[in-house]
Amino acid sequence: MSRSMKTMLWKQRVPGRRPLRQVVLGGVLLAVASCQPAGRSAELLRLEYINDALLATNAELWRTNEHTLRAIHAQVDRNQRQPSDTLALRRAEAVHDSTRHLLGYLQSLRERLLRATGNAARFEHLDAHREVADLLGAAVVDSLQIQLRRHDALLRQPLPPAAGTNLASGATLAPEPAAFDFTDAPLVAVLAALAERESRALLDEETVLAALRARTEAGVLKPTPRPLAIAVNATVAPGATYRATLLLTTALNANRTLKMTCNGQPISVDAAGYGQVAFVVPALPSGLTRRRAEWTGTITHRYLGRDTTFHVRVPYTIVRGR
């Protein structure tokens, strides 16, 4: 039976199966722990299914992360390589290179185990123990742990601040997994554990790259359709005809980089890019019952390292209450 067919059968046998990443990341250690003599063959086959599924998922994750890195490159070029964007790009490249190095080491261990146990062509000796113990001695396991900790420390470093901010924060990653323990572990359990660590590394890289990509796109104006009504007259008399223009327009929003003012005073801007205008209407001079007035607003957006400010004047009418 081919590996792909076994993987497909394993997927079909699990009722109410959650998304693949959740199953395999949560199931590998449980499967390793439950691999006892009773029902050992079934557990070994299940570990083989998990190993195959993990490897397929890891290949997909690697392609996704490479696409994200290319997108960061492209956005930094569009932003004319601003200093903050260049820092984000360098960090993304360092994270990707570290992940590549770690995965190469894990895959080299896998290949050595397969050759030593006669499984290079296909899985035939799932329960090999002696060769695993010989290859994965204390020195090899210690070296692996050092590389894992070094990679994890790089990913947990504070990220460079986004353009227009002074905030430097780290990506939210899962807790560092426990150290390897391959004592009396069969070959297929070790392979599944190595594949699981590959998945963790790729998922953590995915999280960090997504955060870095968001930083390079922080100053990008994103268009969103919004309804707009413009009244011909802000004040109308009873019996008169109210007239207004109703239209669908496109608003531009850049998260965290829009700054707005009303009559020279800063106003709050919500997550959707709306500025909240509120001010006390000035009193009318004695003897006047109505008066035309206007308020002024500005919208400032930092683009390519420069502030661009748009000005608006909005007329309104002050009417004395009766």
* Residue 91 buriedness (CB in 10 A; 0-12 / 13-18 / 19+): buried
User: Do 81 and 121 belong together in one domain?
Assistant: yes
Per-residue pLDDT reduced to its tens digit, 87-99: 999 999 999 999 9
The mean pLDDT of 50-61, rounded to a whole number, is: 80
Return the pLDDT at 243: 75
Among residues 165, 182, 216, the one where a domain terminates is 216
- Tokens standing for 219? 């100053």
pLDDT in tens, 268-281: 888 777 888 888 88
pLDDT of residue 275: 85
The tokens for 213 are 């990509």
Q: How far is 110 from 116, CA to CA, in rounded Å?
A: 10
Listed residues 162, 192, 216: the one ending a domain = 216
**Domain identity same for 137 and 12:** yes
Residue 94 has a pLDDT of 95
Q: Are residues 102 and 8 part of one domain?
A: yes
Q: Based on the fold, state whether residues 150 and 243 are members of the same structural domain.
A: no
Residues 188, 51: contact at Cβ < 8 Å? yes
Do 240 and 131 fall into the same domain?
no
Please count the structural domains in the chain.
Answer: 2
The three-state DSSP-derived secondary structure of 143-158 is: HHHHHHHHHHHHHCCC
Judge if 121 and 249 occupy the same domain.
no
Give the domain extent around 120.
3-216
Same domain (yes/no): 141, 106: yes
Among 167, 191, 216, identify where a domain stops: 216
Residues 160 and 96 in one domain: yes
Look at residue 56 and tell me whether its pLDDT is greater than 90. Answer: no
Region 53-74: mean pLDDT is: 90
Q: DSSP letters of 77-136?
A: HHTT--HHHHHHHHHHHHHHHHHHHHHHHHHHHHHHHHHHTT-SSS---TT--HHHHHHS
User: In whole angstroms, what separates CA 70 from the centre of its chain?
Assistant: 15
Q: Judge if 100 and 227 occupy the same domain.
A: no
pLDDT tens, residue by residue, 167-226 = 445 566 767 666 766 777 777 788 888 888 888 999 999 999 999 998 887 766 667 777
What span, in angstroms and rounded, lies between the C-alpha atoms of 163 and 82?
8
Q: What is the mean pLDDT of the chain?
A: 75
State if pTM tops 0.75: no
Instruction: Check if the beta carbon of residue 192 is closer than 8 Å to that of residue 28.
Output: yes
CB-CB contact of 132 with 97 (8 Å): no
Token pair for 154: 């790089």
CA angle 212/215/219 to nearest 5° reads 155
CA-wise closest residue to 134 among 148, 147, 146, 116: 116
Same domain, 115 and 212: yes
Same domain, yes or no: 55 and 86: yes
Give CA separation, 1 vs 47, 113, 119, 124, 286, in Å.
15, 21, 15, 11, 95
Q: Band of the pLDDT at 255, cuts 50, 70, 90?
A: low
* 242, 236 Cβ separation under 8 angstroms: yes
Q: What is the pLDDT of residue 282?
A: 85
